[in-house]
Amino acid sequence: MSTELAISTRGLRKTYRSRTGQRSVAVGGLDLDVPVGGVHGFLGPNGAGKTTTIRMLLGLIRADSGTMTVFGQTVPERLPEVIGRVGAIVEQPKFFPSFSGRKNLTMLARAIDAPTTLVDVVLSDVGLLDRADDRYKGYSLGMKQRLAIAATLLKDPDLLIFDEPTNGLDPAGIREIRGTMRGLADRGKTVLVSSHILAEVEQVADTVSIIARGELIASGTVADLIGAGAAGTVRVGIADVPRAQQVLAAQGWTVRAEGRYLLVDGGVAPASITEALAAQRLFVDELVPVRVDLESVFLELTAGRGPGTHAPPPAGQHRPAHHAGDAS
């Protein structure tokens, strides 16, 4: 992974004034680093400030304070110099509804002085060539999303920003988008994908940043964030829970009872657990290492942090140690 940054923000802040004059913080001093190359997941609950951050990076809305760079260029001041290297889809794709897909892309190509012959190439890349002359308003959501991806490819960008790209897509569409993102990253592009659907990001992202209430709360590689938790807990199913708890606690391990299960924390090897219990003629029905996924990390980190955040995770799931500042 490169240490060069595709995107960097420092102290980025944006507030909105409501009709009643009250100010609400959309992004509150965000420090975000997106390395060059690979897929970077930009995660957070709804209302966490992901789209606002992306819009600020693209010069669509003005930051109240803070600094932003894209490939080392300060934005929005020097955005025109770097925008040719950036392709972006912000929320739902928005094109001229009465124009065909081809017409929409042709106009964009002419605006950036790209050869119009490229239009059919990118339409073919996303599998829309046979529907290129249909009106955009007649496209399905998946086709609209694919057209938006085709539009970003007109620039042959080094950085692609996808904001909630799978919203409203069916499973096949989600898989297709995921494949596209991975394919772009494998071709050396940097892909920033914002999402609140963790499972899809986990499958495709190399690094992630998690934000809540407009602040970074964790960042690092997916493996690091999940790996810290993977050292954690083993769930033991056994008939005599109280006695088994005594036996395991006597080994100096942290043991919690949860219904007809025991949860053994601290990275104890399952083999050691079965050995200790068998020595006391206690035999396990079930022995399962509790898998920590990105979703559980995310839920833990964002618990109680503003709109769209979640209640604390169920017992037995691990709280990762990778908060902002100690991320790898």
Partner 1 sequence: MSRLLRVELDRFASRTLIRLGVVGVLVICCLAVVNAWQSASPPTEAERAQAQVYYEQALEDWEENGEQWVADCEEGEAAEKEAATDPDAIDWGCDQMEPKAENWLGSPPSFDTDTTALLMSMSALFVLAPLLLAGSFVSAEFSTGSIGNWLTFAPRRTRVYLSKVLAAGLATIPVAAVGVAIVLGGSWAFYRYFDTLDGGPASELSSPVHVALRIVALAPVIAVIGAALGFLVRHTAAVLGVMLGWLVLVEVILVGRVQQLQPWALITNVTAWVEGSTEYYVTQCTVNAAGQSCQSVEHVVSQTQGAIYLGVLAVVVAGIALLVFRRRDVG
Examine residue 111 and tell whether it contacts partner 1 (CB under 8 A).
yes
Comparison of 72 and 97: residue with beta carbon closer to partner 1:
97
Show contacts with partner 1 in window 26-55 (CB under 8 A): 55
Q: Nearest-CA neighbor of 220 among 325, 291, 313?
A: 325
Examine residue 96 and tell whether it contacts partner 1 (CB under 8 A).
yes
Stretch that binds partner 1, among 2-10, 94-102, 197-205, 210-218 (CB under 8 A): 94-102
Alpha helices in 83-140 (DSSP H): 101-111, 117-125
The angle that helices 222-230 and 294-302 make with each other, rounded to 10 degrees, is 90
d(CA 216, CA 43): 10
Q: How far is the CB of 84 from partner 1 (least distance, A)?
A: 9
Angle CA 155–158–164, to nearest 5? 85
Residue selected from 112, 197, 199, 223 as contacting partner 1 according to rule CB under 8 A: 112
Q: How many residues bind partner 1 (CB under 8 A)?
A: 32
Comparison of 136 and 298: residue with beta carbon closer to partner 1:
136
Residue 139 DSSP symbol: S
| Alpha-carbon dihedral 184, 190, 196, 202, rounded to 10 degrees | 70
Comparison of 113 and 130: residue with beta carbon closer to partner 1:
113
Show contacts with partner 1 in window 153-172 (CB under 8 A): 155
How do beta strands 286-289 and 254-258 pair?
unpaired
Comparison of 10 and 110: residue with beta carbon closer to partner 1:
110
Angle CA 4–153–63, to nearest 5? 55
Residue selected from 68, 90, 132, 181 as contacting partner 1 according to rule CB under 8 A: 90
Examine residue 98 and tell whether it contacts partner 1 (CB under 8 A).
yes
The angle that helices 141-153 and 101-111 make with each other, rounded to 10 degrees, is 20
Examine residue 88 and tell whether it contacts partner 1 (CB under 8 A).
yes
Stretch that binds partner 1, among 57-65, 251-259, 298-306, 315-323 (CB under 8 A): 57-65
Give the length of the chain. 328
Residue selected from 48, 86, 123, 282 as contacting partner 1 according to rule CB under 8 A: 86
Alpha helices in the chain (DSSP H): 50-57, 79-82, 101-111, 117-125, 141-153, 171-186, 198-204, 222-230, 241-249, 270-279, 294-302
Residue selected from 1, 60, 231, 321 as contacting partner 1 according to rule CB under 8 A: 60
Comparison of 60 and 199: residue with beta carbon closer to partner 1:
60
Comparison of 3 and 117: residue with beta carbon closer to partner 1:
117
Binding site for partner 1 (CB under 8 A): 55, 58-62, 76, 79-80, 83, 86-88, 90, 92-99, 103, 107-108, 110-113, 148, 151, 155
